[in-house]
Structure 1
Amino acid sequence: MTDQQSKLLKGKQILVTGGAGFIGSNLCEVLLNQHVKVVCLDNFSTGKRINIEPFLQNQNFKLVEGDIRHLEDCKKACLNIDYVLHEAALGSVPRSINDPITTNDVNVSGFLNMLVAARDAGVKRFVYAASSSTYGDHEALPKVEDTIGKPLSPYAITKYVNELYADIFHTTYNFDTIGLRYFNVFGKRQDPNGAYAAVIPKFVQQFIDHESPIINGDGSYSRDFTYIANVVQMNINALTTENKDALNTVYNVAYGDRTTLLELATLLKTYLSEFDASIKTIEIKHRENRVGDIPHSLASIEKAKRLLDYNPQYNISAGLKEAVVWYWEHLK
């Protein structure tokens, strides 16, 4: 965070929904380190108390235990709030395919509750987690914000509906929002467990346990893997920008490069073998592709650079090297 950004946020109160989750807890940490007042709203359905334990004794941190599906919880959390970072959602394409109703309740009804509560509380800006899944079946690379395809999963539909609601709240109520389309974020505090674990911590846990990671397909599917520090930078830039032209639109949040799943697994194997040489010999296995998965993902970050001064510092290699140290300490 720059000195100018710290100055702009000084004395402000920021609500981070889903603040006990992976991305939310990283945002809370950076804001608290700058002595910003943070309110965390979480129902701990996917967020973890251990993620916010270090913050509980901080006088600038307040936990509101509640659910965005309940409007009263949202209103309570929005009291005296200047800005909202809305991270609360049910992620995962497979989860949405298995249970589209709950995904919709949280991601659409919960999102609308938060918009209403924030608008009524006089919140100055609402920055929310959008998703690269919104690009759907649009095949062209790189992905550019104003060209999307048909959604390929219930999850993708919910995240697109978020963007539509945000746009309506601007045009109808003059309420300022910024949507951030995250591309495959990874880093510390990302959960390796459960049926819907993200691929990087899952692979790391498997390598640490001397198990073979299993890649869906032949490993040629590629993603624009994005280290958490880049995502935090983008959120802070979105919160603090004084460029009016940067508001009420959506941005890709990525590094702007793609890595195949096989390349990813190989990199992880290499970096983890520095801690445990036997990991070098672990075989990488394959199975059929997963329903709803997009073959390739690559973001254009030109819009974010131009309007929000986005300048990602971590490519896949630098991000993995840093993340692996944390994973090794916490997952082994």
Structure 2
Amino acid sequence: MRVLVTGGAGFIGSHLVDALMESGSEVRVLDDLSAGSLDNIKRWLNHERFEFIKGDMRDAETVKDAVEGVEAVFHLAANPEVRIGSQSPELLYETNVLITYNLLNAIRDSNVEYLVFTSSSTVYGDADIIPTPEDYAPLEPISVYGGAKLAAEALISGYAHTFDFKALIFRLANIIGERSNHGVIYDFINKLRRNPEELEILGDGTQRKSYLHVSDTVEGMLHIFEHFKGENKAVDFYNLGNEDWITVKEIAEIVSEEMGLNPAFRFTGGVDGGRGWKGDVKFMRLSIERAKETGWKPRLDSYGAVRRTVRELLSANQSGE
């Protein structure tokens, strides 16, 4: 299969590229390297089945050139930082909604058969039903990031039905693992390196969410994509997450333990009832029953994913990566 991966030098994207290359696909990556790194995909740079394009998806012509000749597009390019929405909503619009619009217009004029999009659990907002199923409504994001992801979902659905290609949308829980360069575990490690005696924790520490290791994420995406190709649906949605969840305080304890430290925890108290920041969903756990019906399930639970991620990030730092 000839595939384009947008954001393929990023955290999740590079792991997906690894899996696609290992499966024998021809892979083209489009990435502006604002959040990603060539180091993440360096093993493929000179491979005959691999092509890298450095380009900004806000430029429509760049996107149009990138989709030429591919059968499927895995659209992972996005600004991954949820918190930035309160400071720079226009940036989240450009790097989530506008780039998706440009991609859809390019796909409309191409021979692309499939679009796979990584959306987010943030589209559900503060869900009344937990674990939250894909058909939960109304979707009411409480962050600009979640709103941008939902807007992208809506555009994808409209274009797929109108211009006759198939779209698979994944709503992801918190994805963690090797090569991640943002998020709570990454932040905790860096804070403890600066001050091993004290760890600042945003919010009240009771925030409880589901975490999925990137290895399980990529396996789930590719497994369900194969299943989706056999379905007679223009658009379909799948949650990818874990069946358990873990508190921020418990994550802090695991990070401290793995680093051999015993810091004092200092909770900021947070906003809006103990949230880490404005727009932070305090409790999130997705129903993954539909994904499991296809034959996929995560190998690591949230606790195992957190502990493995801490070890991976610490090991990468020690080796100078």
TM-score, structure 2 length as denominator?
A: 0.91
Tell me, in whole angstroms, the C-alpha distance in 1 between the residues paired with 2:251 and 2:233: 33
What is the CA-CA distance between 1:238 and the residue it aligns to?
Answer: 3.4
CA contact (8 A) 2:254 2:307 kept: no
* 1:205 partnered with 2:194: no
Tell me, in whole angstroms, the C-alpha distance in 1 between the residues paired with 2:153 and 2:95: 15
- Hey, what does 2:45 align to over in structure 1? 56
Aligned letter for 2:7? G
- Hey, what does 1:240 align to over in structure 2? 226
What is the CA-CA distance between 1:36 and the residue it aligns to?
Answer: 1.8
Tell me, in whole angstroms, the C-alpha distance in 1 between the residues paired with 2:193 and 2:317: 8
Render the CA deviation track for 1:4-56: whole Å, top value 9, x for unaligned: xxxxxxxx111110011101111111112223211110011111222222221
Helix, strand or coil at the partner of 2:119: strand
CA contact (8 A) 2:161 2:234 kept: no
Tell me, in whole angstroms, the C-alpha distance in 2 between the residues paired with 1:298 and 1:325: 24
- Hey, what does 1:302 align to over in structure 2? 289
* 1:72 partnered with 2:58: no
CA separation of 1:117/1:313 partners in 2, compared to 1, >3 Å: closer, same or farther? same
- Hey, what does 1:194 align to over in structure 2? none
Helix, strand or coil at the partner of 2:29: strand
CA contact (8 A) 2:4 2:67 kept: yes
Q: 2:146 aligns with which of 156, 163, 184?
A: 156
Render the CA deviation track for 1:55-86: whole Å, top value 9, x for unaligned: 21222211011111111111111111111110
Q: 2:263 aligns with which of 252, 266, 282?
A: 282
What is the CA-CA distance between 1:95 and the residue it aligns to?
Answer: 0.8
Tell me, in whole angstroms, the C-alpha distance in 2 between the residues paired with 1:44 and 1:58: 20
Aligned letter for 1:36? S
- Hey, what does 2:106 align to over in structure 1? 117
CA contact (8 A) 2:208 2:284 kept: yes
* Divergent runs of 4+, >6 A: none
Aligned letter for 1:132? S
- Hey, what does 1:5 align to over in structure 2? none
* 1:90 partnered with 2:90: no
Helix, strand or coil at the partner of 2:116: strand
Q: Residues 141-220 of structure 1 correspond to what in structure 2 (within 5 A)?
A: 141-148=130-137, 149-191=139-181, 197-211=182-196, 212-220=198-206
Question: How many equivalent residue pairs?
Answer: 309
What is the CA-CA distance between 1:324 and the residue it aligns to?
Answer: 2.8
Render the CA deviation track for 1:229-288: whole Å, top value 9, x for unaligned: 111012212332243156512111101211111111112222x14xxx3x2x22222103
* 1:35 partnered with 2:16: no
Tell me, in whole angstroms, the C-alpha distance in 2 between the residues paired with 1:187 and 1:246: 32
Aligned letter for 1:310? W
Aligned letter for 2:268? R
Aligned letter for 1:249? D
Tell me, in whole angstroms, the C-alpha distance in 2 between the residues paired with 1:174 and 1:309: 28
Aligned letter for 2:224? A
Identity %: 28
Tell me, in whole angstroms, the C-alpha distance in 2 between the residues paired with 1:32 and 1:119: 26
* 1:330 partnered with 2:316: yes
CA separation of 1:136/1:69 partners in 2, compared to 1, >3 Å: closer, same or farther? same
What is the CA-CA distance between 1:210 and the residue it aligns to?
Answer: 4.7
CA contact (8 A) 1:17 1:41 kept: yes
What is the CA-CA distance between 1:92 and the residue it aligns to?
Answer: 2.0
Tell me, in whole angstroms, the C-alpha distance in 1 between the residues paired with 2:308 and 2:82: 27
- Hey, what does 2:273 align to over in structure 1? none
Tell me, in whole angstroms, the C-alpha distance in 1 between the residues paired with 2:311 and 2:194: 16
Aligned letter for 1:170? A
TM-score, structure 1 length as denominator?
A: 0.88
Helix, strand or coil at the partner of 1:145: coil
CA contact (8 A) 2:166 2:233 kept: no
What is the CA-CA distance between 1:296 and the residue it aligns to?
Answer: 0.2
What is the CA-CA distance between 1:154 and the residue it aligns to?
Answer: 1.4
Tell me, in whole angstroms, the C-alpha distance in 2 between the residues paired with 1:214 and 1:245: 50
What is the CA-CA distance between 1:102 and the residue it aligns to?
Answer: 1.6
CA contact (8 A) 1:128 1:179 kept: yes
Residue range with higher mean Cα deviation, 51-60 or 175-184: 51-60
Name the Cα RMSD after superposition: 1.7
Aligned letter for 1:323? T
Tell me, in whole angstroms, the C-alpha distance in 2 between the residues paired with 1:217 and 1:154: 19
- Please, which runs of 5 or more residues in structure 2 have no aligned partner? 271-276
What is the CA-CA distance between 1:310 and the residue it aligns to?
Answer: 2.3
Helix, strand or coil at the partner of 2:264: coil
Residue range with higher mean Cα deviation, 118-127 or 177-186: 118-127
